Structure 1
Amino acid sequence: MTSETVAPAPLTVVAERDAAIQDALVKLFGPEGRSDPYAPGRVLREAGPVHQTPLGHRVLTRYEDCAAVLSTTAWSHAEEAGMMHPTVSPEEAPEELPTSFLWMEPPDHTRLRNLVTKGFTPRMVTRLRPRIEQLTEQLVDSALEAGEFDLVEMIAYPLPLVIACELIGVPEEAYAQVHRWSLDLARGFDHDYTLPEEALRARSAASRGFMSYFRELLNERRARPTDDLLSVLSQVEDRGDVLTEQELLATCITTFVAGHETTANLIGTGMLRLMRNPDQIAAMRANPGLTAYAPDELLRLEPSVQITTRAATRPITVAGHEFEKGEGVVVLINSANRDDAAFADPDRTDVSRYADRMKPANRHLGFSLGIHYCLGAPLALLEMEVLLDVLLRKVRGIELLSDTPPFKPNVVIRGLEALPTAFTAD
């Protein structure tokens, strides 16, 4: 035999596979991945359930494994600061990374979430619907009057921003400032080693600005309580537990970033997906009841939080890999939500996917699972549902004016910078 006939073809295949995996990881976490993180996610998912990033973290790609990690306390979220933000010392973290109970585990997580839940009761969310409808109609009317406009600027951000400000008790004159801080904090959720120096400085300034601002607002509410969330949280108590000032301030900040920023991204990317799939707008026009189910499908396809992290609390095996206690993992929500083992025709937009209560689709991971399931999920879904209702009633033509609308550079909390759109009246 010649050397050519015994060439190590399997090794060549392995090398090509490894090169494809590394290329997909670079694209997923790099600038190319912002407009479409799902193509590299598919490459990784099909290549295997677990891979290692250039920064040394393991990543999970498939729904079954991701759901298993998110739904159990065998995996902790308390180590995210150390995994993603190594430039921040533990002593600085309370001021630099004010995330409240997001990055806690029981018993502290249980205590704080139980207290904060008192300010997010179903009754409070239901009470907001008339105001959300009123504000949405005003925003859509303004967009119709403009004809051509940026949907991110005119609808996607103002809707959740105003509702979050009114819910917490932020006065109108501060809207622009808290919006700016929220953008800088959301950018800062990416891994520190991937952020330019100016983004790290902006995150620090935003965190400290938020803390100082809410501290002043809190003092005002303690002196003159109203019916806003800040007043409610300052007074909640459960078996002698109360929120400390630090916990209260971090909770207010979390409400903005996790509520306002992520909901704005859901509205922007969700509307982009619908404009690229006009048959789904037609389906909702034919069956308006689908607007109650469409937001979940849009969030499955375009999760505002693309990735999250967990650390093993004990030795545990997932996806065939043995994780030691304390070892971290990156959960690729964007990949898991497109896994064809969990969702039929997963890349297809189907606003009726979650409408069949007799045969419900798997729960997407856009709001996480388990004890860290998003506290503000009902409000985010309600805001998107109301927007769809108003659009179907008032707008006849919805047109995308750019084939390549720009995305923000964010990896973790992904969203559009702008969405050029045209509306025509019904």
Structure 2
Amino acid sequence: MLADPALRADPYPLLAQLREASPLSLMDGALVVTGRHRDLAAILRHQNASSERQRSMVAPSGVPTGALSFLSLDPPDHTRLRRLVSSAFTPRVIAALRPRVTEVVDALFARVAEQGRMDVVDDLAYPLPVQIISEMLGVPREDDEQFRVWSGLLARALDPQFADPDPQRMAGAETARDEFDRYFSRLIAQRRAHPREDLLSLLVHAESEGDKLTESELLATCVLLLVAGHETTTNLIANAVLALLRNPDQLDALRARPELVEGCTEETLRYDAPVQLTTRVARGPLPVGDLELPEGGVVLMLIAAANRDPDVFDDPDRFDITRKPGGHLAFAAGIHFCLGAGLARLESAVVLDAFARRIVAPRLLGPVEYKANFTLRGPARLDVGFDGVTT
């Protein structure tokens, strides 16, 4: 049901039904589906909830075999790899990026003003995060469009195969992964010979210093940082702009009170989560509500449903940027809480502030086109008309 393209524009009525019926036991108990906030909050922190999908007794989900980034590992390997990367995403480092993010956003809005039109995805939501993460890694900007193709193929592979079995989709992801590996192998060799002041050199140096980062781990980490560093933030920004346009009272509130911009980001994360679902595999008895998963069983956690759970959020289907922040699970929880959450929040806040201040009389033009994947859900195209762009 979740894979039905007809639901991509508005999956929330179905998600509400699944939440009310949660937990659902399928495949003779090997798969449990839940959309209840209390279930997800507990599972994401449970010691028997494994991110190593290869443990699964049902069809695997996630990126192709071999792409074992720390996102798909448990401790101690997860702890070791995440620690190597975390220094690039501390609050101090992210705060120091604000001037650069603002500079990039200003340049994007200047281009929009020259064009006299705007596709929010192509003109704002995609180029900002991919430029920032590319600069952090030390990846050439001229390769952005190639990354977009490869990243899109990998993002499609995140849809669970048991929900959307498609051999062509997985074959495309394998090809993209191979292309990424070849690409980063060349850059890694360059950084070994000539280190720079970038994250890629930091990772290569850590590996060369014997910090137990293997070549395959290094490649997987680079791919994860590049893909995760822009795919989800692209969706966050586009979803936020769309919600503001569909709720003009909230756009007016943001214009009148710019300090609400962080609240706007948090409400978007709750109201229209960029990552709609995730999975965990039981590496021991794993309670899911009043059910218990056996070893190797899979729990499909509907993040987007949990973020609109009326047991946690008042009037959950209403977009309200003045809502008291907190409680959503858009960045997961526990040891796998999103490493890039701070960067995503910064990029979103800078874009939304500029959009509210600078775009005169914005309005949706035509229907919203959505990407094919449903795990990382967001518009593929979002055309917006306006009367002008102020400085």
Q: Matched residue of 1:363: which SS?
A: coil
Cross-structure match for 2:38:
64
1:36 aligned onto 2:5: no
Cross-structure match for 2:86:
117
Deviation at 1:81, TM superposition (A): 7.6
Aligned 8 A contact 2:138 2:200 in 1: yes
Cα root mean square deviation, aligned? 2.3
Deviation at 1:362, TM superposition (A): 4.0
Deviation at 1:57, TM superposition (A): 2.3
1:204 aligned onto 2:171: no
Cross-structure match for 2:348:
384
> What CA deviation, in whole Å up to 9, does each residue of 1:264-285 have, x standing for no partner?
1111111111110111111111
Deviation at 1:86, TM superposition (A): 4.0
1:369 aligned onto 2:338: no
Deviation at 1:383, TM superposition (A): 0.3
Code of the aligned partner of 2:114: E
Aligned with residue 173 of structure 1, among 142, 155, 160: 142
Deviation at 1:123, TM superposition (A): 2.8
Cross-structure match for 2:24:
51
Cα distance in structure 2, aligned partners of 1:239 and 1:131: 31
Code of the aligned partner of 2:236: L
Code of the aligned partner of 2:8: R
Cross-structure match for 2:294:
324
Aligned with residue 284 of structure 2, among 285, 294, 314: 314
> What CA deviation, in whole Å up to 9, does each residue of 1:248-293 have, x standing for no partner?
1111100122121111111111111111011111111111111122
The gaps in structure 1 that reach 5 residues or longer are: 1-25, 355-360
Please give the residue correspondences for 1:211-290 in structure 2 after superposition, counting only pairs within 5 Å. Answer: 211-236=181-206, 241-290=211-260
Aligned 8 A contact 1:310 1:329 in 2: yes
The gaps in structure 2 that reach 5 residues or longer are: none
Code of the aligned partner of 2:256: A
Cα distance in structure 2, aligned partners of 1:311 and 1:163: 33
Aligned length: 387
Code of the aligned partner of 2:247: N
Aligned 8 A contact 2:57 2:297 in 1: no
Which gives a bigger RCO, structure 1 or 2 (Cα 8 Å, sep 6+)?
Answer: 2
Q: 1:315 to 1:199 in 2, by over 3 A?
A: closer
> What CA deviation, in whole Å up to 9, does each residue of 1:110-159 have, x standing for no partner?
11111121232323222221111011111112222322231111111111
1:396 aligned onto 2:324: no
Cα distance in structure 1, aligned partners of 2:220 and 2:138: 15
Code of the aligned partner of 1:210: F
Aligned 8 A contact 1:80 1:309 in 2: no
Cα distance in structure 2, aligned partners of 1:172 and 1:286: 36
Cross-structure match for 2:151:
182
Aligned 8 A contact 2:51 2:71 in 1: yes
Cα distance in structure 2, aligned partners of 1:279 and 1:308: 32
Aligned with residue 65 of structure 2, among 79, 83, 93: 93
Aligned 8 A contact 2:235 2:274 in 1: yes
Aligned 8 A contact 1:80 1:310 in 2: no
Cross-structure match for 1:341:
311
Larger C-alpha radius of gyration, 1 or 2?
A: 1
Cα distance in structure 1, aligned partners of 2:314 and 2:39: 18
Q: TM-score, with normalisation over the residues of structure 1?
A: 0.85
Deviation at 1:239, TM superposition (A): 10
1:405 aligned onto 2:368: yes
Cα distance in structure 2, aligned partners of 1:86 and 1:298: 30
Cα distance in structure 1, aligned partners of 2:139 and 2:308: 38
> What CA deviation, in whole Å up to 9, does each residue of 1:372-404 have, x standing for no partner?
0000010011000000122233222221112x3
Cα distance in structure 2, aligned partners of 1:315 and 1:88: 22
Q: Matched residue of 1:43: which SS?
A: helix
Aligned 8 A contact 1:67 1:369 in 2: yes
Deviation at 1:88, TM superposition (A): 9.8
1:414 aligned onto 2:383: no
Cα distance in structure 1, aligned partners of 2:107 and 2:231: 20
